[in-house]
Amino acid sequence: MKKPTAPASKSQPRGPLDHDVRTQIVEAAEEYFSHYGYEKTTVSDLAKAIGFSKAYIYKFFDSKQAIGEVICSGRLSMIMRAVDEATATVPNASERLRRMFSALVEAGSDLFFHDRKLYDLAAAAAGGSWPSARAHEDHVRQLIAQIIVEGRKLGEFERKTPLDETVNAILLVMRPYVNPLLLQHNLDFAAKATVQLSSLILRSLAP
The answer to whether 171 and 144 have CB atoms below 8 angstroms apart is yes
Residue closer to its own copies by CB (options 63, 196) is 196
CB count in 10 Å sphere of residue 173: 19
Binding mask 122-161 for its own copies (x = CB under 8 A): -----x------------------------------x--x
Q: Pick the piece of the chain touching its own copies (CB under 8 A) from 38-46, 78-86, 98-106, 182-190.
A: 182-190
Q: Does 200 bind its own copies (CB under 8 A)?
A: yes
Instruction: Name which of residues 44 to 63 contact its own copies (CB under 8 A).
Output: none
- Cβ 147 to its own copies, closest distance in Å? 15
Q: Do the beta carbons of residue 181 and residue 123 sit within 8 Å? A: yes
Binding-residue total with its own copies (CB under 8 A): 27
Residues of this chain, 160-179, that bind its own copies according to CB under 8 A:
161, 165-166, 168-170, 172-173, 175-176, 179
**CB closer to its own copies, 67 vs 197:** 197
CA distance 135 to 71: 14
- Classify the C-alpha dihedral 98-73-176-192 as positive or negative: positive
Q: Are 88 and 147 in contact (CB under 8 A)?
A: no
Distance between CA atoms of 125 and 132, rounded to whole angstroms?
7
Asked if 76 contacts 178 with a C-beta cutoff of 8 angstroms, the reply is no
What phi-psi label fits residue 161: left (phi over 0), alpha (psi between -120 and 50 degrees) or beta? beta
Nearest approach, Cβ of residue 125 and its own copies (Å): 13
SS3 assignment, position 129: coil
Contacting residues toward its own copies, per CB under 8 A = 127, 158, 161, 165-166, 168-170, 172-173, 175-176, 179, 181-182, 185-186, 193, 196-197, 199-201, 203-206
